[in-house]
């Protein structure tokens, strides 16, 4: 079981840099980088909501479940 984070894909599709997303979402670049790398243990719904709002996407566009 694995959750894959596709934040880098969505950033590329929106032609946005991590720093710009960080400023718009109000989360540090370091924390977003950790999320982007898939090294987080949890994500707040409020953070996910803000990311989806800024990137104009659905949570499923960012998080993907892959059965091993």
Q: Could you read off the pLDDT of 36-55 as tens digits, one per residue?
A: 999 999 999 999 999 999 99
Q: What is the pLDDT of residue 1?
A: 56
Q: What is the pLDDT of residue 24?
A: 97
Phi, psi of 63 (to 5 degrees): -110, 135
Instruction: Tell me the pLDDT of the chain averaged across its residues.
Output: 94
DSSP 37: T
Dihedral sign for Cα 47, 55, 62, 19, please. negative
Domains of the chain, with CATH numbers?
Answer: 2-66 (1.10.260.40)
pTM of the model: 0.91
Q: What is the pLDDT of residue 42?
A: 93
């Amino acid at each position: 079981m694995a959750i894959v984070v596709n934040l880098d894909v969505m950033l590329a599709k929106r032609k946005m840099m991590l720093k710009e997303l960080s400023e718009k979402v109000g989360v540090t670049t370091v924390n977003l980088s950790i999320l982007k790398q898939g090294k987080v243990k949890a994500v707040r719904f409020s953070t996910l909501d803000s990311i989806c709002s800024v990137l104009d996407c659905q949570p499923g566009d960012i998080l993907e479940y892959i059965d091993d």
